[in-house]
Chain A
């Protein structure tokens, strides 16, 4: 059974960098699939942030591209998200996910709430 688990600070100060890691179990990242991040502001809808292939190819949402970096560490079977220069608008539940394709998302982490506040 594939499982994903997000980890990282729950509180980030404005203008700083948000950093999250997603640990994958039950499947080897280096075997394939895309791996990505999606976020959901409290009480709102879903926003696709970006994805990475196991080889390292990345795809980012143009609206966030200048601030986002997604990387993969196959030796640790995990991938990471960095979002720089955060503001209150970046407060959201951040989900990591396995993406078929690139296409539909078949496995999701439980999500982690990141609040941007001083």
Chain B
């Protein structure tokens, strides 16, 4: 089973700033099969990025994903008030389970 470790656990930033979230895998994620999700309190997660760098339908271009192998990054270029939430990465390149990271909470500074 691939273990995903996200850092930092909590990120405190102000609107307008740039956010960089990390997701590290315990072994290489094949074909960059990595996704990012955003979850707000009381809501289901929302798909942001798949295939490490492809934006899902309707996702603003301030969200971008990068990386390969074991190191992946989600970048939010300029934070909007609605971007403060918890972010999860998920790998789906190996046999199930398609594990999730433990999450990064992005909070307003």
Contact = CB atoms under 8 A, between A and B. Distances in A.
Interface of A: 45-48, 50-51, 59-63, 95, 100-106, 108-111
B68 interface: no
Contacts of B75: none
A111 B41 CA distance: 12
Interface in B74-104: 88, 90, 92, 95-103
Contact of B100 (A45, A50, A101, A103): A45
B96 A105 contact: no
The B interface is mostly helix, strand or loop, or mixed, namely loop
B88 A104 contact: no
A50 B96 CA distance: 8
A100 B57 CA distance: 13
A46 B96 contact: no
A60 B96 contact: yes
Given A62-B97, A63-B97, A102 B44 contact: no
Contacts of B100: 45-48
B72 interface: no
Contacts of A111: 44
